[in-house]
Structure 1
């Protein structure tokens, strides 16, 4: 499975289903494999940042640089695990864990005021001033019972987003 020139076996597909908690059907995994092979232009078994940026929808995403930190050099198994966060079959907690990793820039298990502010910069670009961003973020944190000096951990994210109707889904076209 490491080499994209080989085909997936039934065992590979079932193993991938287990690895991603059955977020994808067998047909979806086969479709993802074909897409992975298209992206892996040098057939090295891994997708580079440049190869990810060749996907127009990804390249224009304001969080693409942040996501590349999680994506660069993924093999197919990791690619499927990454995409499973966007499956309709993935639990809300799994989606929140993914979002937490996006916000946790340095991977220390904590999200600071500045980490959130960086995401806001990426998302708002020139449409908000730095002062407006800080004001909004201070208000949101205060409403949730935190201050700008708080460091949020995963359980805080689960507490804050746990009752939300979080829609983070991408449909996998079946070939």
Structure 2
């Protein structure tokens, strides 16, 4: 599986399936391999940030720069493992762990208020003011028993995520549209 010019063997497919906890069927892995080969324009077996940015849907994603930090230089097996977070066969726990890694920009195992606020900025754009973002985020953190000064580990992050974060953002956005 070193070079993208070779074809996947049955062993390769099964190895990738095991690596991504069977988030994809064998047929899906073959399709992902073909897409990976299209992205890997130089045939080196790795996909660069520039190659990922050539995908229009990725390039316009408000979180693309954060995701690039996780994607740059992936080989096929790592590429599939990354994409497994988006599979319907992936557990909620695995999805939350993935989201935590997106928020943990310095990879220190902790997420700070500013990290979450930065993501909220990326996602809300001009639909919310900075004051509204800070108010919503502060409210959500307080509701989960945290303050702006808290640093969240993965278990903390899961607790905050299970609070009304999505509802608060949605209702804040809706009330702004109505006023």
Partners of 2:163 and 2:128 lie apart in 1 by: 28
Cα distance in 2 for partners of 1:163, 1:86 equals 22
Across the aligned residues of Structure 1 and Structure 2, the Cα RMSD in angstroms comes to 1.6
Matched residues in 2 for 1:67 and 1:115: separation?
Answer: 14
Q: Which has the higher contact order (CA 8 A, sep 6+)?
A: 1
Given the alignment of the two structures, is residue 92 of structure 1 paired with residue 92 of structure 2, yes or no?
yes
| Secondary structure of 2:111 counterpart | coil
More off after superposition, 149-158 vs 82-91? 149-158
Q: Please say if residues 92 and 162 of structure 1, whose CA atoms lie closer than 8 Å, have aligned partners that are also in contact.
A: no
- Equivalences, count: 165
TM-score by length of 1: 0.90
Q: Which runs of 5+ in 2 are unaligned?
A: 167-179
Aligned counterparts of 2:69 and 2:22: Cα–Cα separation in 1 = 25
Q: Between Structure 1 and Structure 2, whose CA radius of gyration is higher?
A: 2
Distance 2:56 2:139 in 1: 34
Task: Structure 1: state its 5+ residue gaps.
Answer: 167-175
In the TM superposition, structure 1's runs of 4+ consecutive aligned residues that sit over 3 Å from their partners are 160-164
Q: Distance in 2 between matches of 1:55 and 1:25?
A: 23
The structural deviation recorded for 1:15 is 0.4
Matches within 5 A, 1:1-175: 1-161=1-161
- Please say if residues 117 and 134 of structure 2, whose CA atoms lie closer than 8 Å, have aligned partners that are also in contact: yes
Greater fraction helix: 2
